């Protein structure tokens, strides 16, 4: 079992038992089209398969973890405390892309990380290292982008933040070796998954209320049309003999039940919320086309703290 490297909104560590309980007795390849922090993937340690995410910088991060773990660790070891003074030998020592004054080391690194969306040349290894550094030093580990695609989470307050994560990077690199990594639409899985495979969908959740929004992790939203298109893809996979497991917010219950999926409501606590007093348990569904008779009784079900 490998622990996730990144903190990521909507992570599934608390839902692992419920997901494993719906696994088929056997499957060939594992596919995860909405990867995010990859809690299930890293806990499962699949031998092969595919992962995908719409966030290009997140995808680059996992490619660097897979292909260049030691170089990535070396970059991470070069970073300083987030509240330190700026590094005068790197760009953005005085102001960011918008001409706003840089206050400290954290905001300088945030500006460096945002080279790609603002049209600057960037180094993929450096960008991956900066993603992990910011993830471990920003406020509450929240990944959030503005309308331009710029990461805009503020600095956090940590006594001894560990942004190097040597052990987790090395272990994750090993698990990712035989995994194809995609950066595109989730429907790629229609071509990638074959009969006998297993697909786990963990899309941006449909909001539980008009004011809720679980889709701020990237500038591209995920609207109701996308949710309905996802259902169509899940149905087509089932028709092709692929096992499907999906999690989503409770408001999607009827949609999946009416489509013939076995749906259950589970409770999960939101680990990332801007209001620390509002990390309440919310209803979410787990839907599957795997019948109870075809499910495995075993499976790796250990859940560890982040």
pLDDT of amino acid 1? 84
Residue 299 domain-assigned (yes or no): no
pTM (2 d.p.)? 0.89
pLDDT of amino acid 304? 38
Residues 190, 47 share a domain: yes
The residue among 136, 164, 192 that closes a domain is 164
What's the number of domains the chain is made of? Answer: 2
Residues 262, 121 share a domain: no
Extract the tokens encoding 209.
């209320």
Residue 278 domain-assigned (yes or no): yes
At 96, which CATH number? 1.10.1020
Residue 179 domain-assigned (yes or no): no
Positions of the chain with pLDDT under 50:
210-219, 270-280, 299-306
- Asked if residue 232 lies in contact with residue 244, where contact means CB atoms within 8 angstroms, the answer is no
Residues 284, 198 share a domain: yes
Distance, in Å, from the CA atom of 69 to the CA atom of 29, rounded to the nearest integer, reads 24
Distance, in Å, from the CA atom of 103 to the CA atom of 84, rounded to the nearest integer, reads 10
Residues 268, 191 share a domain: yes
Distance, in Å, from the CA atom of 86 to the CA atom of 301, rounded to the nearest integer, reads 44
pLDDT of amino acid 234? 98
């Amino acid at each position: 079992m490998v622990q996730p490297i990144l903190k990521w909104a909507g992570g599934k560590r608390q839902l692992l038992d419920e997901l494993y309980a719906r696994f088929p007795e056997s499957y060939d390849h594992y596919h995860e089209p909405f990867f995010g922090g990859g809690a299930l993937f890293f806990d499962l340690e699949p031998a092969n398969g595919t992962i995908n995410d719409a966030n290009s910088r997140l995808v680059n991060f996992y490619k660097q973890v897979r292909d260049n773990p030691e170089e990535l660790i070396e970059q991470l070891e070069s970073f300083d405390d987030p509240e330190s003074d700026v590094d005068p030998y790197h760009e953005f020592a005085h102001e960011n892309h918008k001409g706003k004054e840089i206050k400290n080391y954290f905001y300088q690194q945030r500006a460096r990380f945002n080279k790609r969306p603002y049209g600057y040349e960037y180094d993929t290894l450096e960008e991956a290292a900066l993603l992990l550094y910011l993830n471990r030093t920003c406020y509450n580990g929240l990944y959030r982008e503005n309308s331009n695609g710029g990461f805009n989470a503020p600095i956090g307050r940590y006594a001894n933040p560990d942004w190097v994560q040597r052990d987790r990077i090395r272990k994750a690199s090993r698990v990712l070796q035989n995994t194809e990594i995609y950066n595109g639409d989730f429907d790629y899985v229609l071509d990638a998954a074959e009969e006998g495979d297993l697909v786990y969908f963990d899309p941006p959740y449909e909001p539980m209320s008009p004011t809720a929004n679980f889709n701020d992790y990237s500038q591209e939203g995920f609207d109701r049309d996308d949710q309905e298109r996802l259902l169509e893809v899940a149905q087509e996979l089932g028709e092709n003999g692929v096992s499907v497991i999906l999690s989503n917010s409770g408001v999607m219950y009827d949609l999946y039940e009416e489509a013939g999926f076995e749906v259950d409501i589970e409770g999960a606590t939101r680990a990332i919320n801007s209001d620390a007093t509002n990390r309440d348990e919310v209803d979410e569904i787990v839907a599957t086309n795997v019948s109870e008779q075809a499910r495995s009784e075993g499976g790796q079900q250990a859940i560890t703290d982040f």
